[in-house]
Amino acid sequence: MLPGAPHLARTADGRLRLEGHVLADLGRRFGTPLFVYSRAAMRDAVAAYQRALQGRPHLVCYAMKANSSLAVLQTFAQAGCGFDIVSGGELERVLAAGGDAAKVVFSGVGKTRAEMRQALQAGVRCFNVESTSELDTLSQEAVALGRVAPVSLRVNPDVDAGTHPYISTGLKGNKFGIAHDEALAAYRHAASLPGLRVVGIDCHIGSQITQVAPYLDALDRVLDLVEAVEAAGIAIHHVDVGGGLGITYTDETPPRADEMVAALLARLDARGHGHREVLLEPGRSLVGNAGVLLMEVLVLKPGSAKSFCIVDAAMNDVMRPAMYEAWMGIEPCLLRAETARTWDVVGPICESGDWLGRDRTLAVQPGDLLAMLSAGAYGMAMSSNYNTRPRAAEVLVDGDQVHLIREREQVADLFAHERLVRD
């Protein structure tokens, strides 16, 4: 098993396998670029959270922005998960995959009135509200529909999660949530509005977090507010501690899910809040290391300053390196005996930012297949059609079964809804 990649291993003959399936064979069969996911890895990841929460009132809500493919959502729905959504489109995906709207929490700073109506009619479990103006709008829409909207206020605790600034969400300078010192007044306002029912409190401080301490700092600030809100006569049923637990891409050592959950539960108990229902919103930690992206080497371009290994995948398939300068493991699907050299692995897109891995030591030849590891999160979900490139196909392996869960787009699909002007 390779570091950070459950169910991925290299056999004695040098072939890379996922759940026993030879990745090179899958790449040849379905074409490249190709996302391949392990269903067992996803199930194992969510089971770690569920075991740690056993005996406590709880709900694990998969943060589906990490990977919203229907078969992935189906896997978590079948495991008893709820879902953390941030758009009406994501709600439609949950329902199409067999998810239960009553287990959905609707987050996001910019919900439209149409999305609010859609979620109210579907009967979502809770709206995670991020501003007082959103409270006013949601109240109006709920009253107009004759519904009651269950609400939880997302509080910004001003806690540094120690992660990339683009994925930090719990600081004063971030756009998310209601400032900690304004939250009590916001709760009073929510309790006064018709069509709303306060049910909880929510906090999410960032993504790819590799320490427990920021979670505990945030939880302490949230519990301070719970006590103040309940002293004001407003009951809080659940505490949603968000998600953001990191995974191993290279040398990171994030806590295991059960370690993080145990620390959070211990803090809740120590402060007298052990009776409350706990919600968690993991995303990356459930799917990140369950997936790989397969790509074919097109051209080797040695140079005096840099040598480039040009592949058929690109920044439109995986944005993380270009957007965050993220390091993602890249492994040959079949080890070669020849001497390796240092390459920058790049794609065909007309941007200097189109790189997938810098300074990688690889023994490769044109036609070889490479696997980008830890590609199950924020790969397909953030992919685009830049340079009129069709998005990749997706495959789910499940024991001895191989399922094509998304067909490869065709170029004609990309402009099927466009129209020429008739002069």
In order along its 423 residues, the chain shows pLDDT tens digits of 576 677 999 999 999 999 999 999 999 999 999 999 999 999 999 999 999 999 999 999 999 999 999 999 999 999 999 999 999 999 999 999 999 999 999 999 999 999 999 999 999 999 999 999 999 999 999 999 999 999 999 998 877 555 444 344 444 556 578 998 899 999 999 999 999 999 999 998 888 999 999 899 999 999 999 999 999 999 999 999 999 999 999 888 999 999 999 999 999 999 999 999 999 999 999 999 999 999 999 999 999 899 999 999 999 999 999 998 999 999 999 999 888 999 999 999 999 999 999 999 999 999 999 999 999 999 999 999 999 999 999 999 999 999 999 999 999 999 999 999 998
Within this chain, do residues 214 and 142 fall inside the same structural domain, yes or no?
A: yes
Task: Give the catalytic positions in this structure.
Answer: 350
Within this chain, do residues 203 and 276 fall inside the same structural domain, yes or no?
A: yes
pTM of the model: 0.94
The pLDDT, as a whole number, for residue 369 is 98
- Is 44 a member of any domain? no
Among 236, 261, 282, residue at a domain's last position: 282
Within this chain, do residues 314 and 374 fall inside the same structural domain, yes or no?
A: yes
Q: What is the dihedral of CA 321, 325, 329, 331, to 10 degrees?
A: 60
The pLDDT, as a whole number, for residue 175 is 59
Three-state secondary structure along 338-355?
CCCEEEEEECCCCCCCCE
Which residue range is the domain that position 192 belongs to? 107-282
- Inter-residue contact 105 to 128 (CB < 8 Å): yes
- Is 261 a member of any domain? yes
Within this chain, do residues 260 and 304 fall inside the same structural domain, yes or no?
A: no
Within this chain, do residues 293 and 333 fall inside the same structural domain, yes or no?
A: yes
- Measured CA to CA, the distance from residue 52 to residue 47 in angstroms comes to 8
- Is 293 a member of any domain? yes
20 contact partners, CB below 8 Å, separation of at least 6: 400
Within this chain, do residues 264 and 144 fall inside the same structural domain, yes or no?
A: yes
Q: What Cα–Cα distance (Å) separates residue 299 from each residue in 64, 192, 309, 360, 388?
A: 35, 65, 6, 15, 21
Within this chain, do residues 238 and 315 fall inside the same structural domain, yes or no?
A: no
The pLDDT, as a whole number, for residue 169 is 46
Within this chain, do residues 144 and 170 fall inside the same structural domain, yes or no?
A: yes
Within this chain, do residues 262 and 161 fall inside the same structural domain, yes or no?
A: yes
- Is 76 a member of any domain? no
- Is 82 a member of any domain? no
Within this chain, do residues 326 and 374 fall inside the same structural domain, yes or no?
A: yes
- Is 409 a member of any domain? yes
Within this chain, do residues 265 and 302 fall inside the same structural domain, yes or no?
A: no
Q: Is 408 left (phi over 0), alpha (psi -120 to 50) or beta?
A: beta
Among 247, 267, 282, residue at a domain's last position: 282
User: What is the total count of domains within the chain?
Assistant: 2
- Domain CATH number, residue 352: 2.40.37.10
- Is 92 a member of any domain? no
What is the rounded end-to-end Cα distance, in angstroms, of the chain?
61
Beta bridge partners of 360: 343
- Measured CA to CA, the distance from residue 45 to residue 20 in angstroms comes to 19
Three-state secondary structure along the chain?
CCCCCCCEEECCCCEEEECCEEHHHHHHHHCCCEEEEEHHHHHHHHHHHHHHCCCCCEEEEEEHHHCCCHHHHHHHHHCCCEEEECCHHHHHHHHHCCCCHHHEEECCCCCCHHHHHHHHHHCCCEEEECCHHHHHHHHHHHHHHCCCEEEEEEEECCCCCCCCHHHECCCCCCCCCEEHHHHHHHHHHHHHCCCEEEEEEECCCECCECCCHHHHHHHHHHHHHHHHHHHCCCCCCEEECCCCECCCCCCCCCCCHHHHHHHHHHHHHHCCCCCCEEEECCCHHHHHHHEEEEEEEEEEECCCCCCEEEECCCCCCCCHHHHHCCCCCEEECECCCCCCEEEEEECCCCCCCCEEEEEEEECCCCCCEEEECCCCCCCHHHCCCHHHCCCCEEEEEECCEEEEEECCCCHHHHCCCCCCCCC
The pLDDT, as a whole number, for residue 172 is 52
- Domain CATH number, residue 256: 3.20.20.10
Among 282, 298, 324, residue at a domain's last position: 282
Within this chain, do residues 307 and 278 fall inside the same structural domain, yes or no?
A: no
- Copy the structure tokens of residue 109: 């700073």
- Copy the structure tokens of residue 363: 């023994």
- Is 164 a member of any domain? yes
